[in-house]
Amino acid sequence: SYELTQPPSVSVSPGQTARITCSGDALPKQYAYWYQQKPGQAPVLVIYKDSERPSGIPERFSGSSSGTTVTLTISGVQAEDEADYYCQSADSSGTHEVFGGGTKLTVL
């Protein structure tokens, strides 16, 4: 079955830039979506269609795509950004969705 691969953890100091990657063979063909999840809460969409930002999401959140890897970038990280981040996409047929394993962002 199709898989998306994320690093388990990323750590940054406040004000620095955090980059979280997500790799998958079908990513050149399928859009990626990024979610932020804080403990005890439902996921919140922060990036859609690789690089679009929903209304209400701070500009420090951005997304990019290159080949089989998509990247979530958080510029000027704040303490409130500490959370789990998940990428989501679909397999090459576009019918089955899949999530990456998640990345825990720690703000030092």
Partner 1 sequence: EVQLVESGGGLVQPGGSLRLSCAASGFTFSSYWMSWVRQAPGKGLEWVANIKQDGSEKYYVDSVKGRFTISRDNAKNSLYLQMNSLRAEDTAVYYCASGYEYWGQGTLVTVSS
Work out whether 38 is an interface residue with partner 1 (CB under 8 A): no
Reading the block at residue 19, the tokens are 């980059």
Work out whether 48 is an interface residue with partner 1 (CB under 8 A): yes
**Is the separation of the CB atoms in 2 and 98 below 8 Å?**
yes
Distance of CA 12 to the CA centre of its chain: 16
Select from 11-19, 20-28, 70-78, 88-96 the region that touches partner 1 (CB under 8 A): 88-96
Least distance to partner 1, CB of residue 12, Å: 21
Count the site residues for partner 1 by CB under 8 A.
21
Beta bridge partners, 45, equal 35
Report the residue from 23, 68, 92, 99 that binds partner 1 according to the rule CB under 8 A.
Answer: 99
Work out whether 39 is an interface residue with partner 1 (CB under 8 A): no
Instruction: Look at residue 9 and give its three-state secondary structure.
Output: strand
Residues 2-31 that bind partner 1 (CB under 8 A): none
Binding footprint of partner 1 on the chain (CB under 8 A):
1, 33, 35, 37, 42-45, 48, 54, 84, 86, 88, 95-102
